[in-house]
Amino acid sequence: MADTNPLVRIRGLKIEGRSDEDWIQIVNGVDLDLNSGEVLGLIGESGAGKSTVGLAAMGFTRDGCRISAGTVEFDGIDLIAADAATRRALLGRRIAYVAQSAAASFNPAHRIIDQHTEAPVQHKVFSMSNSQADAMELYERLRLPNPTEIGFRYPHQVSGGQLQRAMTAMAMSCRPDLIIFDEPTTALDVTTQIEVLAAIRDIVEQFNTAAIYITHDLAVVAQMADRIKVLLKGDEVEEAPTRTMLADPQEDYTKTLWAVRSFQRTQKPPAPSSDVPVISIRNVTAAYGSVPVLHDISFDIHAGRTVAVVGESGSGKSTAARCITGLLPPLEGQIEFEGAPLPRDYRKRSKDQLRQAQMIYQMADTALNPRKRIFEIIGRPVEFYLGLRGAEKRRRVEQLMEQIEMDPGQYIDRLPSELSGGQKQRIGIARALAAEPRFIICDEVTSALDQLVAEGILKLLANLQDSLDLSYMFITHDLATVRAIADSVVVMKEGRVVEAGPKDEMFTPPHHPYTDLLLSSVPEMDPDWLTGLLEARGVDNIGDSASARMS
């Protein structure tokens, strides 16, 4: 590895983005070197410019952005000055890109293998038949089921994790020198993620491909990268080999990033059995039309406690929430509030019953009406349930905003689009609090947020719980969140409760095998974690394949 001649060499890269009439600098002079066969992890929170830098390594900018200064050299070729024909010959052939959402990036109208063979045939690397044969071989190496057959399906006929691996195979189709992975596992479940991670790492090693791996998940990047570069608001914070970086971060910002997962609340003692639970789910069975989704689930949530409901997507955790709120009336069983049964359909519930159970949503963007000001959003439940008007209403809204640690004077007349993601989520919390409920359902409230921001939200929820004696049902797939905030845990799989109990018990063996699989699939900051796990469990005993064998 000659340091003098890296594969990618970026110097003083500045990128500007267009906002209305002005150009605003979003990347302020980043340097980057990548040797062949090396994996560089780019991390940072959203807006740090990591995707922009990653794309710039291909000499490409998104619409509305432009490279204003600096050089990007790939194997000695200046990508910014190069003409379109030169760039076209490189992209796809020697540089490939794997996007965050494979489902959105594949063309749904063409079979996977047809999209796979397009680049090699176009660049005259392989003939059509050779490329197809090569695709099947790649599918096999990436451990996709039925490698000879899966390529002939359409993208919607394949699961998300498989599609992401098929996309990695597609990136490999011309045996490129450089692949850019842009958050390839962010949208996946932990059990699926681990399979994709193992596959990507394996294939990058086998072909000695250089890669830029963009993610906001530190534990993931620790498994994948040889070196890590931390970005913050378009500036480089620091760069070091993975192990050095993990063991001995230099900058304050990096240290706070590393410390994020340390927030952990002590578990409260279990409520006395004589206590009437705030919400009690009794033998609920539910279905969408004729498709059953919940099978006889029961659990209780006591006053001032947090119950975390975990499981992969499709396990029925959100459906359980819909049953509790009454949006999906259960077929059998009932929901009790403080011992009294609630009507199954929300339309039959009284205003007071509706007030007692509130909800906070995953996507604050769709949960807040974009055309209403913050005052109206929080003020509506205040007015609707408590009948406050005029100055009283305004005072109450201001009080609520202070509770969620936002300055009323500054934010009360803004629109949701004028707030950051974390602030929007806080407004969602304030709207739930405005009803003065006893019970709040938090549906993946932190999964769309950066880790630092998410930690702030969790701390806020914890404080609110202590001061207002709230009960939470915390739906999540992130076990770090569970560890931080839960008192007890309910593990769900395919519409059934697999295991339930206090948090401390759930995180110490012995487990139900599914809980074990779930727990072991959560990436840890240790760079040897994935290697260790693969050795311990075997390549075939991780992720979806293991999960499928269990049911």
| Rounded distance between C-alpha atoms, residue 32 and residue 177, angstroms | 16
Q: How far is the CB of 454 from another protein (least distance, A)?
A: 19
Q: How far is the CB of 81 from another protein (least distance, A)?
A: 9
278 φ, ψ to 5°?
Answer: -65, -50
Q: How far is the CB of 71 from another protein (least distance, A)?
A: 14
Q: How far is the CB of 61 from another protein (least distance, A)?
A: 14
The residue among 322 and 511 lying less far from another protein, judged by its C-beta, is 322
Distance of CA 128 to the CA centre of its chain: 37
| Rounded distance between C-alpha atoms, residue 78 and residue 93, angstroms | 17
The residue among 321 and 542 lying less far from another protein, judged by its C-beta, is 321
The angle formed by the CA atoms of residues 387, 391 and 396, to the nearest 5 degrees, is 65
The residue among 349 and 511 lying less far from another protein, judged by its C-beta, is 349
Give one word for 466, left, alpha or beta, with left for phi > 0 and alpha for psi -120 to 50: alpha
The residue among 84 and 340 lying less far from another protein, judged by its C-beta, is 84
DSSP conformation class of 104:
H
| Rounded distance between C-alpha atoms, residue 195 and residue 142, angstroms | 9
Place of tokens 């240290």: 255
Q: How far is the CB of 385 from another protein (least distance, A)?
A: 8
| Rounded distance between C-alpha atoms, residue 510 and residue 424, angstroms | 40
The residue among 3 and 21 lying less far from another protein, judged by its C-beta, is 21
Please report how many Cα atoms fall inside a 13 Å half-sphere around the Cα of residue 176, on the Cβ side. Answer: 28
Summarize as ranges the residues that interact with another protein (CB under 8 A).
18, 20-21, 63-64, 83-85, 325-327, 346, 349, 351, 354, 358-359, 361, 363, 366-372, 380-381, 384-385, 431, 435
| Rounded distance between C-alpha atoms, residue 279 and residue 175, angstroms | 56
Q: How far is the CB of 351 from another protein (least distance, A)?
A: 5
The residue among 378 and 517 lying less far from another protein, judged by its C-beta, is 378
Locate 531 and state its tokens.
């290697």
Strands 235-241 and 227-232: antiparallel
Locate 155 and state its tokens.
């993208």
Q: How far is the CB of 84 from another protein (least distance, A)?
A: 4
Q: How far is the CB of 173 from another protein (least distance, A)?
A: 26
What's 179-204 look like in SS3?
Answer: EEEECCCCCCCHHHHHHHHHHHHHHH
The residue among 9 and 349 lying less far from another protein, judged by its C-beta, is 349
Q: How far is the CB of 421 from another protein (least distance, A)?
A: 15
Q: How far is the CB of 206 from another protein (least distance, A)?
A: 36
| Rounded distance between C-alpha atoms, residue 401 and residue 408, angstroms | 6
| Rounded distance between C-alpha atoms, residue 270 and residue 258, angstroms | 32
The residue among 350 and 531 lying less far from another protein, judged by its C-beta, is 350
The residue among 124 and 371 lying less far from another protein, judged by its C-beta, is 371
Q: How far is the CB of 124 from another protein (least distance, A)?
A: 21
Distance of CA 412 to the CA centre of its chain: 29
The residue among 59 and 527 lying less far from another protein, judged by its C-beta, is 59
| Rounded distance between C-alpha atoms, residue 519 and residue 508, angstroms | 10
- With CA atoms as reference, report the closest residue to 220 among 254, 185, 179, 263: 185
Q: Which helix (H) or strand (E) holds 16?
A: strand 8-19
Is residue 447 within 8 Å of residue 416, measured between CB atoms? no
3-state secondary structure of 326: coil
Locate 20 and state its tokens.
């209305």
The residue among 266 and 366 lying less far from another protein, judged by its C-beta, is 366
The residue among 426 and 431 lying less far from another protein, judged by its C-beta, is 431
3-state secondary structure of 24: strand
The residue among 213 and 472 lying less far from another protein, judged by its C-beta, is 472
Strands (E), 233-320: 235-241, 279-288, 291-301, 306-310
Q: How far is the CB of 89 from another protein (least distance, A)?
A: 13
3-state secondary structure of 26: strand
Q: How far is the CB of 322 from another protein (least distance, A)?
A: 9
Locate 194 and state its tokens.
């681990």
